Structure 1
Amino acid sequence: MIHDDKHLTGLVINPQHIRKVANEWAKIGKGDSIPYVLAFGVPPAAILVSSMPIPEGATESEYIGAICGEPLPVVKAELSDLEIPAESELVFEGVLNINNLVNEGPFGEMHGYVFPGTGHPCPLYTVDVINYRDEAILPVSNPGLCTDETHTLIGGLVSAELKNFALNHPILSKIVMDVFTPYEAQALWAAFKINTKELVKLNTTSVELRKLFGDLYFETKIASIIHEIVLVGDDIDIFDFRKFFWAYVTRHTPDDDQTFFHKVPAFPLAPFISNGPRIKSKKGGKVVTDCLLPKQYQDPDFSFTTCDYSSYEAKLQQKINDNWSAYGFKS
C-alpha cells in the first residue's frame, strides 16, 4: 500500500517467505534494513508460483524454472545483487525496514471487506529507484467478493497442495479422492472428498479422523489461509457448490460433528480474526467439520437416494422434458 511519494508499506508475516528472509537477515547480523525488489508485470508462471505454498527451502525462481522446464530469464537489480525477472514491466528497488512500522489500511482484501478507519502497523519500504519498460503496463487485481484472482489463484493452488500433501500421507492417501477450496467460501474453506469404502477399512471414528486432519493440516503453511476443513462423501461433487453446500447443511450436527482447534495459527486477514478478539493472539478459530454420515464409517454398502430431478430414471426425465417442450417451453 502507498504510504507517501517515496514509501510503501505491507504485510511481512509468517509463514510467508518474506518474513522468513527477514528473520534470517537479522539472524546473521545484517540488521533490520533489507534490500528488496518489487516487480510488476512478471511472467504468468512467476505470478502463479508467488501464490503457491511451495515446499520449505525451495526458492520461487527455481520452482518457476521447474514448472516451465527452463530457467526464468533474470537481470541484476540496480541497487543490490538481487535478480529480477527480465520481462518485468515495472520495478521498484529500495530497502525494507522491518522495525519502522507505519499504518497500512484500510485495504480491500480477498474476503470482500473494507473497514474504514482501520489499519495495522506494518514495516516501511523505501523506494529509491523505479525502472520501467517503454509504455509499461501496470497490472491491477481488485480483490473482493468471489470470484477474482485471489480465489482462483491462491485458492486453486492451495487445493492442489492440500491434495498433494494427502497423497503423500500413509493414511490420508487411502481415503482422500480430491480437494477444493470453494470460490463461494472466499478461499476460507477446504472441501475434502472421501472414499467411503476405503474409510470403513481404516476402522476409525469421526472424532479420530477430525483430529487427524486438523493436527496434520492446521500447523502447515499449506493450510494457513484455511479456517474450516469439510469432509464429505464420494457421492458429492465438491466442485459443484450447490451439491457441496447441500451436504454441508444436511450431514453434520453443529458442534457434535466438529472439532475446534484453538491453538493453531489463525489467518490474520480473515475478517472474523482481524476484527475480533483473536487478532491479539492470532491463534485458533479453525475447525474440521465432518459431513460423513455415521454409517459411512461402518458399512461399505451403506447407500441412499438423492431426492433430486437427476435421481429419477432417465425415461421419466425425458418424458417430463418432452411434455414441457409440447407446452411451448424450452426443455
Structure 2
Amino acid sequence: MGMKPLKSFREYVEVLEEYNEIVSINQEIDWDLEMSAIIRRAYDLPSPAPLFKNIKDSTPGFEVLGAPVGMSPNREHPFIRVALSLGLPINTPAPELVEAWSHLPDVNPIPPRLVANGECKENKLLNEEIDLTKLPVPFIHVGDGGRYINTYGILIVRAPDGSWVNWSISRVMLDGPRTMAGVIIPSQDLGKIYRQWKEIDKEMPYALCLGVDPGIAMIAGYPLSGDVNEGEIIGGWYGEPIEVVKCETSDLEVPATSEIVIEGTVSLEEMISEGPFGEYAGYTLVGHEKPVPRFNVTAMTHRNNPIMPVSVTGVPSEESSTNWGIAIAASIQNTLRKQGLPIKECFIPLESAVHWLVVTVDRSQQKVGNEQLAHEIGDAVFATRAGSYVPKVIVLDDDINPSNINQVVWALATRHRPDKREIMVDQKVLPLVGYLDEKEKREALTTKAIYNCLLPLNSCSEDKQTIEASFRSYPEKLRNHIIKNWEK
C-alpha cells in the first residue's frame, strides 16, 4: 500500500487545498456560534472544510480549519480526508481504511527524534505575555458552558517516572487569559497519569498541541491497549521517527511542526467548572457542568500565521465518527482476528454516533452455530478497551457492506429476529453514551446488546433458495452492459 504520510498540519492543509477540500473564508466571522454553525453546515452537506482567515476580536494572522476530517463532498472519495490523514491512497474504500488501520497495534515502534528547533518555536510567549482569549477560540454549541480551545488538538502528558508518554485528544475549555479547564476521565490514560502525579503531590506538566500531523491526531483517537507511547507507534506507522522539540517550561517533548503549543501544569487542588458541551452522541445536556482541574499556562509557542483545528462534535457525522469510530472498529478488528474469530470486516456506521458496531462474518470459516458465534463475537468485543465505548453490536453475513448504511438497515430490519437479541448486563461503558442514566454514568456500567442477523446456515433445500432481489443480483455481464449504456 502506497504510504505517503503528511508530516505537518500545514502540509495537510496544503494537500486538502490541492484536492478542493478547503474553502477559504476571508470575510470577518464571529467566534461566538457563527464559526461553529458554518462548520456544522459543512459536515451536514457535506462541503469542503472551511478555513477561516479573519475571526472577530482575534490576533490577526491566526486561522481556523473547521471540520478537519469531515466527510467529503467528493462523491467518488467521500473518505478522502481520513485517507490523507492516514497517509493512504485517496481512493481507499472505508472498510479498507479500517483494515489498514487495524494493523497499527502491530507496528514496530520507532521512538521520536529530538531536534534542536522546529516550526512551533517561530514565536515564543511566556507568562504575562500570553492571552489565550486573543486566540480564535470558538463558542461552539448553543448551551455550552464556555469557549472550547481544544477539540482536535492533542494533550501530551508523561508519567512521573518518565516511562509512559501519552498523546490523546481531550476537550479543553478556555477559562481566562492563562487558565483552562481540562476534562480528565479517571478510566482514560490521561486520568491514570494524573492520578500518579497526585500520589506524589506534584502538579502534572502538560503540553496542548493545536494543529499536529493528521496521522498524530488519528492515533490520538486510537484505543491502544496498555501503557504505550503514541509517539513511538506513529513512528512505526510512518516507518521513520517523528521529530519532536523540548518545551520551554518543562521537559515534555512536542511534535516540532505543531501550529500552536500551550504549556503549563495541572493543579492538584484548584477546580473550575467545565461544561456542558455538545457531545458526540448528539446532545448538549444543559445545566450539567462539573468541577475539573485547572490547567495553568506558563508558555505558548506558535508558528507564523498558525492554523487551529476545530471539530464541532454533535449529531453525526464529524471527527468522532471519522477519526475515533474508524479507530475503534480497527482496534476491535485487530482483536477479533487475533482471537481466530471468522470475521470479514468491522465498521462503525457514521450515522450511529459510535453507538453501533457492525461485524460481518466469513461464513466459509464458521465452525459453530449462528447463536454461539454471535455470542462469542459480542463477548470478545465487549472485553476490549475499544469495545467498552460501543453499546450495540450487529452481526451480519458478509454479503453486506458494513459501511453502506442502507444495506445495514435493510439487513437489520429483515434478518434480525427480536428473540435472537442477546442482552449482556453490567458491561463497562464510557459515561458519554447517549441514553445512560445518572447511576450508569457514575458507575460506568450499562446493559449492552448483540443483534444476531446471520442468515440460517444451509437451511434451504436446493429447489428453495433465497436470492437478493436487487440490481446486484443480475448477471455481471448484463449489469456492465447496462451501466455502459446508461447515458443513452
Give the TM-score, by structure 1 length: 0.85
Q: CA offsets per residue over residues 1-24 of structure 1, 9 Å max, x none?
A: 123333222322254321221233
- Corresponding residue SS for 2:192: helix
Distance 1:42 1:35, change over 3 A: same
Question: Match for 2:188 among 1, 10, 16?
Answer: 16
Alignment-mate amino acid for residue 5 of structure 1: P
Query: Which of the residues 168, 174, 183 maps onto 2:350?
Result: 183
Determine helix, strand or coil for the equivalent of 2:451.
strand
Aligned to 1:151: 321
The CA distance in 2 between the partners of 1:180 and 1:245, in whole Å, is 14
Number of the residue aligned with 1:296:
457
Partner of 1:49: 219
1:283 aligns with 445
Q: Provide the C-alpha distance between the structure 2 equivalents of 1:100 and 1:264, rounded to a whole number of angstroms.
A: 33
Q: Which has the higher contact order (CA 8 A, sep 6+)?
A: 2
- 1:232 equivalent in structure 2: 396
Please report the RMSD computed on the Cα atoms of aligned residues, expressed in angstroms. 2.8
User: In 2 relative to 1, CA 296–122 (structure 1 residues): closer, same or farther, beyond 3 Å?
Assistant: farther
Q: Give 1:162's aligned residue.
A: 332
- Distance in structure 2 (CA, Å) of the matches to 1:85 and 1:272: 38
CA pair 319-36 structure 1, distance change in 2 beyond 3 A: closer
Distance in 2 of aligned mates of 1:63 and 1:300: 51
Q: Structure 1: how far apart are the matches of 2:481 and 2:235? A: 55
Does the 8 A contact of 2:370 with 2:454 survive in 1? no
* 1:285 alignment partner, SS class: strand
Contact 1:196 1:297 (8 Å CA) reproduced: no
Q: 1:303 to 1:154 in 2, by over 3 A?
A: farther
Native 8 Å contact 1:205 1:297 kept in 2: no
Aligned equivalent of 2:250:
80
Contact preservation (8 Å) 2:332, 2:384: no
Report the residue type matching 1:236 in the other structure.
I
Paired AA for residue 282 in structure 1: A
1:192-243 Cα deviation digits (max 9, x unpaired): 01122322xx23351x334323332223212232111110012211121101
The residue type equivalent to 2:174 in the other structure is I
* Cα distance in 1 for residues equivalent to 2:178 and 2:356: 38
Deviation (angstroms), 1:313:
5.2
Q: Secondary structure at the match of 2:285?
A: coil
| CA shift in 2, pair 1:304/1:269, >3 Å | same
Q: Does 1:60 align with 2:230?
A: yes
Q: Structure 1 residue 163: deviation in Å?
A: 1.0
Cα deviations by residue, 1:62-100 (Å, 9 ceiling, x for unpaired): 011111111111111122111111111111111113554
**Which residue of the partner structure matches residue 365 of structure 2?**
198
Matched, 1:263 2:426: yes
User: Structure 1 219/12 Cα, relative in aligned 2: closer, same or farther at 3 Å?
Assistant: farther
Residue 32 of structure 1 contacts residue 99 of structure 1 at CA under 8 Å; is this kept in 2?
Answer: no
Amino acid in structure 2 at the alignment position of 1:249? A
Give the residue type in structure 2 aligned to 1:102: I
Contact residue 204 and residue 297 of structure 1 kept, 8 A: no
Q: Deviations over 1:266-286 (max 9, x none)?
A: 12112212x554223220132
Which residue of 279, 284, 300 corresponds with 1:114? Answer: 284
Q: 1:160 to 1:25 in 2, by over 3 A?
A: same
| Contact 1:203/1:297 (8 A) holds in 2 | no
Partner Cα distance (1:187, 1:303) in 2: 35
Q: Residue 48 of structure 1: CA displacement? A: 1.4
The one-letter amino acid of 2:360's match is K
For 1:74 and 1:316, the matched residues in 2 are separated by 57
Structure 1 position 298, deviation (Å): 6.9
Separation in structure 1 between the aligned mates of residue 228 and residue 237 of structure 2, nearest angstrom = 13
Letter in 2 for 1:152: T
Q: 1:103 to 1:265 in 2, by over 3 A?
A: farther
Could you tell me the percent identity over the aligned residues?
29
Q: CA deviation at 1:185?
A: 0.7
- Mapped contact 1:197–1:300 kept (Cα < 8 A): no
